[in-house]
Amino acid sequence: MDQHNSLREAIESGDAVLGACGDTFSPSVVELYGELGVDFVWLDFEHGGPSPHDSLLLQDLTRAADVGGTELFVRIPGPDPALIRKSLDAGVRNLLVPRVDSADEVREAVEATRFVYEGEPGERGKSGSRASAWGHAENYIESEDENVCLGVMIEKTTAVDELEEILSVPELGFVFIGPSDLSVQMGHPNEKTHPDVQNQITEIRDACLDADVPVGCIANDPEDATQAIEDGYQIVRIGGEFGALKSTIGDRLSRIER
């Protein structure tokens, strides 16, 4: 298994990456996304899909990503250190943890990804799993610590209150802003464009940029995605196969006379 993480390298170099949702959790679709040139495939195990504990499926998905030349971007249900370790052992290199509340919670999650953390033993467990090429990878421990990348979603007001502390957690890979849940938390459900919500999003983004922590967002429209990158976002999700099916097949059906 290639332990190289192109997504982490890109964002640490200041580049932007574009990703799409793997709505069907299909290895074939993941491989196709890679062939199309998508930088990462977003897999949402928080709101749907199969069990995030199914390491056999994760192994197949990571193989497909390796073949296609893309990276998986796996949103797990929460900051569970055991699930973080299991996902990494299956070969996942990029994890997104939703609904965090505090810096302590974030630190515990990040520490679970590291064999060595802040000069001390971390909470990652060594195994003969796919991530280690079944025990044959050279410099496995050092390589994993250099390549795995864990980020968190800022989508709760409790996290906003501790944002400065969260951004100072060592080895935090990135922040992804969740506008939908943030709007609910702020008392404006389903109003992602409400001025208060938009102002809060801007403040979160600016804080990330000031702290030199890469920040991500959703921008399905190409012009919006381009603007997001100009505004400093480095991780941009631009849609998925469900949306593509709806727009493409829906448009064709509406234009066929029968």
C-alpha R_g of the chain: 18
- CA separation for the pair 96, 1 (Å, rounded): 22
DSSP letter assigned to residue 243: H
State whether residue 202 is helix, strand or coil.
helix
136 tagged catalytic: no
- CA separation for the pair 217, 167 (Å, rounded): 17
**Given 4, 47, 53, 194, the catalytic residue:** 47
Length of the chain, please?
258
**Which string of DSSP letters, residue by residue, matches 63-77?**
HHHHHHT-EEEEE-S
Helix (H) or strand (E) holding 41: strand 40-44
Residues annotated catalytic, as ranges: 47
